[in-house]
Amino acid sequence: MPVCQIVHLNGSFLPLAEARISPLDRGFLFAHAAYEVTAVYGGRFIDMPGHLTRLSRTLAGIALPDPLSPSGWEALHKELIVRNDLNEGIVYLEVTGGAYDVRDFAGPETFVPTVFAYADSRKLIGAEARDGIKVVFLDDTRWKRRDMKTVQLLSQGLAYRTAKARGADTAFMVEDGFVTEAASSNAWIVTPSGEIITRHLSPAILPGITRAGVMALRGKGGFAVTERAFTPDEAVNAAEVFTTSSGAMVAPVTHIEGRPVGDGKPGPVTRQIQRLYYEAMGADLAAVAPWAMERA
Ligand code: PDD
């Protein structure tokens, strides 16, 4: 499905076909840009404050002034979903270093950002969440500041292409013998003894907002999470594996490198976390995710 037709560009809402950005924009020339992808469910944003906090951290980290206040960002997001009548999907926001009259690596002393945002209608609780996804392992060839959400996404784009060519949906990225994260989500395993593990936060991975959302459910769900790096072998031999992201929420991984994880079906811990997460989103489980009640 194409993205929704009314987009935001530099303070205006306009049809996508009329949105124009200079080819000298630093986002285009240098990948000098921050982005956020915020989930929308039932016409409401999921953890907007978390996304806005991460956005301002990324902007500070890449020398860009924050062009709006948190309430300004929130109003922009809201207006976009109202104008497009979006009930379920995502809002994509990108803030670049702006366009100038020369291609200059360092750029001006103070940047004047380009702000672009669009909405995209899609199912957040869909087939991937129900049936699971397949992953392969690939070298993590990204830059070293993956904690900042920038559009330097070439490694991930190529990883997706390789994964698809190998019959998988995405890749787990591996560095120095450990899984960092998936190409566009955080990676989790459940050991055969039931321990839930996800990599600790550091510049090696993106601090996922969905990851934080799952962490916040520990008390209610009565589960603990160990935050440490795990190896590809641990993932292959895990009882369950899943990913978290704003695009697919909690997605079970059923196959790694063509081999089933556990019995090759989404496992009970993953289903429990899905149930808790969907309830927190305000979803009617029986209506939209009856399969999440399995293995309860
Ligand atoms: N990707 N790790 C990476 C490398 C990601 O690109 C993402 C999100 C995540 C999960 O973060 P969050 O829970 O905040 O969405 C982890 C988004 C959805 C994307 O690029 O489309």
Q: Are residues 167 and 111 in the same domain?
A: no
Q: Are residues 284 and 147 in the same domain?
A: yes
In a domain, 108, yes or no: yes
Q: Are residues 59 and 115 in the same domain?
A: yes
| pLDDT confidence of residue 1 | 76
Is the model more confident about 296 or about 156? 156
Mean pLDDT of 88-102: 98
Q: Are residues 114 and 249 in the same domain?
A: no
Residue 256: give the domain boundaries.
Answer: 127-293
Whether the CB-CB separation of 156 and 183 falls below 8 Å is answered with yes
How far is Cα 171 from Cα 183, in angstroms, rounded to an integer? Answer: 6
Domain boundary among 69, 87, 121: 121
Burial 173-199 (b: 16+ CB within 10 A, else e): bbbeebbbbbbbbbbbbbeeeeebbbb
DSSP E strand stretches across the chain: 6-9, 12-15, 33-41, 44-45, 89-96, 114-121, 133-139, 170-175, 178-182, 186-190, 196-198, 225-227, 240-245, 249-256, 259-260
Tell me, using a 6 A CB cutoff, whether residue 185 lines ligand 1.
Answer: yes
In a domain, 82, yes or no: yes
Q: What residues have CB less than 8 Å from 23, skipping those under 6 apart?
A: none
Q: Are residues 139 and 53 in the same domain?
A: no
Secondary structure of residue 250 in the 3-state scheme: strand
Q: Are residues 38 and 113 in the same domain?
A: yes
Tell me, using a 6 A CB cutoff, whether residue 209 lines ligand 1.
Answer: yes
Nearest CA to ligand 1 atom 2: 185
Confidence of residue 296 (pLDDT cuts 50, 70, 90): low
Tell me, using a 6 A CB cutoff, whether residue 58 lines ligand 1.
Answer: no
How far is Cα 181 from Cα 16, in angstroms, rounded to an integer? Answer: 33
Q: Are residues 62 and 147 in the same domain?
A: no
Catalytic residues: 149
Neighbours of 158 (CB within 10 A): 14
CA of 124 from ligand 1 middle (Å) equals 14
| pLDDT confidence of residue 47 | 98
Q: Are residues 92 and 174 in the same domain?
A: no
**Global confidence as pTM:** 0.97
In a domain, 1, yes or no: no
Give the CA angle between residues 45, 47, 52 to the nearest 5°. Answer: 100
Nearest CA to ligand 1 atom 3: 184
How far is Cα 117 from Cα 165, in angstroms, rounded to an integer? Answer: 31
Tell me, using a 6 A CB cutoff, whether residue 47 lines ligand 1.
Answer: no
In a domain, 238, yes or no: yes
CATH number, domain with residue 83: 3.30.470.10
| pLDDT confidence of residue 270 | 98
Q: Are residues 186 and 287 in the same domain?
A: yes
Domain boundary among 67, 101, 121: 121
Task: Tell whether the model's pLDDT for residue 2 goes beyond 90.
Answer: no
pLDDT per residue as tens digits for the range 13-47: 999 999 999 999 999 999 999 999 999 999 999 99
Domain boundary among 121, 139, 173: 121
Neighbours of 95 (CB within 10 A): 28
In a domain, 267, yes or no: yes
In a domain, 81, yes or no: yes
Q: What residues have CB less than 8 Å from 157, skipping those under 6 apart?
A: none
Q: Are residues 139 and 88 in the same domain?
A: no
Total number of domains in the chain = 2
In a domain, 107, yes or no: yes
Categorise residue 226: left if φ over 0, alpha if ψ from -120 to 50, beta otherwise.
beta
Mean pLDDT of 76-89: 97
Neighbours of 292 (CB within 10 A): 26
CA of 233 from ligand 1 middle (Å) equals 24
| pLDDT confidence of residue 295 | 66
Q: Are residues 98 and 139 in the same domain?
A: no
Q: Are residues 198 and 64 in the same domain?
A: no
| Antiparallel, parallel or unpaired: β 33-41 and 89-96 | antiparallel
pLDDT per residue as tens digits for the range 172-225: 999 999 999 999 999 999 999 999 999 999 999 999 999 999 999 999 999 999
CATH number, domain with residue 222: 3.20.10.10
